[in-house]
């Protein structure tokens, strides 16, 4: 499975918010394991559980975990989030999810891509399941297309999640924001949310802000 720039931004942004934590973290739909590994790079004392129901993707993730410095910090489970959230009694400090995009669009021709990009996990299923797997201090971090963000916000609010941080991602100066990252909490007494904006490219080059955010994770930037 391919690693997207959006996912890299999401992982790097989370580490800009949370570093040197000793949290119990759940990565939902880990794919290649990217988000788990990026998080553990910034939080090497944390423990992770990565969910991936697709066998081929799980094999990729397992290989990447084994080759990393944090192979003893993370376990991989081949389960859907729906089943995991119903049958699991563990509580997590942080749940990370790069959910399926393009709800209600035509299905991709390849089954693996279809599972990764479509209705395998609906916003309300994610919001409700994450609530069951966290305590009142738990956090939920997601990335969605801008076109789906209002749908997600509605599901999050109905499930008792409140926005803490938001990052709007704009590909280039002549294009609109197309992805939004958010961190949500369940503590109603928290402060007002913090909003940030990231422009990826300007004048045919990555912006200084993008380079600064991703440099710890890119070999050549």
pLDDT at 111 over 80: no
- Three-state SS annotation for the chain: CCCCHHHHHHHHHHHHHCCCCCCEEEEECCCCCHHHHHHHHHCCCCEEEEECCCHHHHHHHHHHHHCCCCCCCEEEECCCHHHHHHHCCCCCCEEEECCCCCCCCCCCCCHHHHHHHCCCCCHHHHHHHHHHCCCCCCEEEEEEEHHHHHHHHHHHHHCCCEEEEEEEEEEECCCCCCEEEEEEECCCCCCCCEEEEEEEEECCEECHHHHHHHCCCCCCC
Q: Hey, where are the domains in the chain?
A: 5-214
The pLDDT of residue 187 is above 90: no
What residues contact residue 196 under an 8 Å CB cut-off, 6+ apart?
13, 165, 166, 167, 168
pLDDT, tens digit, 9 for 90 and up, residues 41-65: 999 999 999 999 999 999 999 999 9
pLDDT of residue 189: 74
Question: What percentage of the chain carries pLDDT values higher than 70?
Answer: 90
**Topology of 5-214 in CATH?**
Rossmann fold (3.40.50)
Average pLDDT over residues 130-139: 94
Count CA atoms closer than 13 A to 217's CA, side-chain side. Answer: 26
- Structure confidence by residue, pLDDT tens digits, 192-212: 899 999 999 999 899 999 999
Its pTM stands at 0.89
Phi, then psi, of 26 in degrees rounded to 5: -115, 125
Express as a percent the part of the chain with pLDDT over 90.
79
Identify the residue with better confidence: 79 or 181.
Answer: 181
Give the pLDDT score at 100.
62
Do 64 and 104 contact (CB within 8 A), yes or no? no
Lowest mean pLDDT among 3-7, 24-28, 69-73: 3-7
Confidence of residue 107 (pLDDT cuts 50, 70, 90): very low
pLDDT at 66 over 70: yes
Is the pLDDT confidence value at 116 over 60?
no
């Amino acid at each position: 499975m391919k690693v997207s720039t959006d996912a890299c931004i999401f992982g790097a942004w989370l580490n800009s918010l949370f570093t040197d934590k000793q949290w119990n973290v759940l990565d939902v739909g880990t794919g290649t394991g990217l988000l788990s590994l990026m998080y553990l790079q910034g939080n090497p004392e944390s423990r992770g559980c990565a969910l991936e129901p697709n066998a081929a993707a799980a094999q990729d993730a397992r290989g990447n975990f084994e080759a990393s410095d944090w192979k003893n910090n993370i376990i991989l489970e081949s389960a859907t989030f729906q089943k995991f959230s119903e049958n699991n009694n563990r509580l997590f400090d942080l749940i990370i999810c790069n959910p399926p995009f393009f709800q209600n669009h035509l299905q991709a021709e390849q089954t693996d891509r279809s599972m990764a990009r479509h209705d395998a996990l609906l916003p309300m299923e994610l919001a409700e399941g994450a609530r069951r797997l966290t305590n009142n201090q738990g956090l939920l971090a997601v990335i969605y297309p801008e076109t789906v963000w209002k749908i997600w916000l509605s599901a999050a609010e109905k499930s008792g999640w409140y926005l803490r941080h938001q990052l709007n991602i704009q590909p280039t100066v002549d294009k609109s924001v197309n992805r939004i990252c958010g961190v949500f909490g369940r503590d109603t007494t928290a402060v007002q949310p913090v909003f940030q904006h990231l422009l990826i490219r300007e004048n045919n080059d990555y912006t200084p802000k993008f380079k600064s955010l991703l440099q710890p994770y890119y070999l050549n930037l």
